[in-house]
Structure 1
Amino acid sequence: MSNKTPKFTVVGAGPGDPDLITIKALKALASADVVLYDALINEDLLKYASNAEKIFVGKRKGCYAYQQEQINELIVSRAKSHGHVVRLKGGDPFIFGRGAEEMQYAAQFGIQTSIVPGISSSYAVPAYQNIPLTKRGDSESFWVITGTTKSHKLSKDVYLAAKSNATVVILMGMSKLSEIVSIFTKENKEAMPVAIIQNGTTDKEQSGIGTIQTIEEIVFQKKLSSPAIIVVGEVVHHKKKLASVYQEVKEESIH
């Protein structure tokens, strides 16, 4: 048993680029006795926890290093035996990240808990592709929806979002792409722009841009797969418009 006070901090690592982590998150890592980290975090960040025991608890292609119940137990046992446990999660742990569930579990054992928010992939990944989620004249709001619910089905909110004029961001939805396309098609939105961004903000980033009508073919041609983010909305055009403006200015400066 450690003589340190058991403490549990859930830390958002950001969307992939290691520079997109907060100073507060780095301070938490520096003070960690144990770091439990996920598959989607950039492992370069682990160097900031130089004195900590580091345990990989993520999943890769459906293979779990630990089941969620085991992770919960590990949080509690390591906090009691070592002191400060940091749970390092991709993006923001409160956006489809089970951060709240893990904090609730630890609190039941009298462990002090806290959260360090992270930059969410839901808006940072599109931003790296010059796609804003809101833009005057194009979109006044946005939905962020999980493509895979607890029951492994597409969220019913996609049906509601497809009826709106908002930008729709779907995380963990690549396996449901055909279903998503079908829902938007039924709302007569075949021409709606779509962007799919794989491994966003990392050096492995790939993307495909099309419409509801063409996106499945583009995904097939470019061999895009998970982890990827799906963005549906007029704001997707901003990337092309920006490039066009830049090109015009460049050509004028040459002449």
Structure 2
Amino acid sequence: MTDSLTLPAGPMGEWPELLPGWVWLCGAGPGDPGLLTIHALNALRQADVVIYDALVQEAILDWAPQAEHVYAGKRGGKPSAKQRDISLRLVDLAKAGKRVLRLKGGDPFVFGRGGEEAQTLIQHGVPVRIIPGISAGIGGLAYAGIPVTHRDVNQSVTFITGHDQTGEATASLNWKAIAEGAQVLVIYMGMKHAEHIANALLDAGRPADEPAAVVSSATTPDQQVLETTLGRLAGDIAASGLEPPAILCIGRSVLMRQVLDWQALMNGETPRDLDPLGRGLPAEVS
């Protein structure tokens, strides 16, 4: 894989150079190596050191054979590197004149602590470049055949983290406002506290029969999708045996998986329902 993949010519000439003493903070996407950006690939080709997270696929690191690979993953309930140590190590490596690539799953600025790391670097006088990535809350759902927005369903979407800095269920959220304010909810890192989240939304008025889905190991060969309802969410997760990492989606857009499960279609299956929203009209008709 490393030998056959080359960068195309840049749209404005040469691709940016990762200079010694710089840190590029880069999103690796939700899992599938094909969802990397060309800027990310360019960074991998140049880095002296790649500091990578738990959700970065090993195949992605193969595109940086010249670099030192340093694991700095954080997984709930498991021994993990401390955030302060990760941030300061980035500073030390840059100060030592290394070309440093900080590779984070998804997008570094979407529940990825990228803002903290970038701020630390800048406070220590280290130059940075930010390379966005495809967030699991968008790309992971798309791989499951769930559009995060659909004009017959929602004009808003809310992204939520399932836990706070302590690892416990987020206590500062106004669940009533969330329940009333967005038709579709996308919850990162919500598996552990799924019962708390579901009960909070039900107490705030969301209907128990509202469609819900869990996408585990999104965009990877291990991807699994659970379709359920808000009222059954916690129990069905427990019964399914699904493991993190996972994205939770709550809202009627989940129904679109019945027609848009493109991976099932590739395997020769037929759509379960060509009109899952019950519009009674062809999709092209407004």
The reply to whether TM is greater than 0.5 is yes
State how 1:75-224 maps to structure 2 within 5 Å. Answer: 75-151=90-166, 152-154=168-170, 156-186=173-203, 187-224=205-242
* Counterpart for residue 227 of structure 1: 245
Conservation of the 8 A alpha-carbon contact between 1:13 and 1:41: yes
Q: Could you tell me which amino acid in structure 1 is paired with residue 272 of structure 2?
A: S
Partners of 1:5 and 1:238 in 2: CA distance? 47
How many residues align structurally? 244
Partners of 1:113 and 1:201 in 2: CA distance? 29
Structure 1 position 65, deviation (Å): 4.5
Alpha-carbon distance change, 89 to 165 in structure 1, aligned in 2, over 3 angstroms: closer
Alpha-carbon distance change, 63 to 185 in structure 1, aligned in 2, over 3 angstroms: closer
Structure 1 position 211, deviation (Å): 0.8
Alpha-carbon distance change, 157 to 226 in structure 1, aligned in 2, over 3 angstroms: farther
Structure 1 position 64, deviation (Å): 3.6
Structure 1 position 246, deviation (Å): 6.0
* Counterpart for residue 252 of structure 1: none
Give the % identical residues: 37
* Counterpart for residue 44 of structure 2: 29
Match of 1:69 among 84, 98, 103: 84
Partners of 1:159 and 1:100 in 2: CA distance? 28
Match of 2:74 among 59, 66, 89: 59
Partners of 2:97 and 2:175 in 1: CA distance? 43
Alpha-carbon distance change, 63 to 36 in structure 1, aligned in 2, over 3 angstroms: same
Alpha-carbon distance change, 61 to 161 in structure 1, aligned in 2, over 3 angstroms: closer
Structure 2 residue runs of 5 or longer lacking an equivalent are 1-18, 261-270, 276-286
Q: Flag the structure with higher helix content.
A: 1
Partners of 2:196 and 2:273 in 1: CA distance? 35
Partners of 1:65 and 1:162 in 2: CA distance? 33
Alpha-carbon distance change, 19 to 59 in structure 1, aligned in 2, over 3 angstroms: same
Q: Could you tell me which amino acid in structure 1 is paired with residue 213 of structure 2?
A: A
Structure 1 position 112, deviation (Å): 0.8
Partners of 1:60 and 1:184 in 2: CA distance? 26
Structure 1 position 86, deviation (Å): 0.6
Partners of 1:65 and 1:171 in 2: CA distance? 19
State how 1:231-242 maps to structure 2 within 5 Å. Answer: 231-242=249-260
Structure 1 position 167, deviation (Å): 0.6
Q: Secondary structure at the match of 1:48?
A: coil
Q: Secondary structure at the match of 2:35?
A: coil
Alpha-carbon distance change, 241 to 157 in structure 1, aligned in 2, over 3 angstroms: farther
Alpha-carbon distance change, 157 to 82 in structure 1, aligned in 2, over 3 angstroms: farther
Partners of 1:188 and 1:5 in 2: CA distance? 52
Structure 1 position 147, deviation (Å): 0.7
Give the TM-score of the pair, scaled to structure 1: 0.90
Partners of 1:200 and 1:168 in 2: CA distance? 17
* Counterpart for residue 9 of structure 1: 24
Structure 1 moving runs of 4+ over 4 Å: none
1:46-66 deviation per Cα after TM superposition (whole angstroms, max 9, x unaligned):
121122111111134533442
Conservation of the 8 A alpha-carbon contact between 2:258 and 2:274: no
Q: Flag the structure with higher strand content.
A: 1
Conservation of the 8 A alpha-carbon contact between 1:94 and 1:100: yes
Give the TM-score of the pair, scaled to structure 2: 0.80
Partners of 2:38 and 2:152 in 1: CA distance? 35
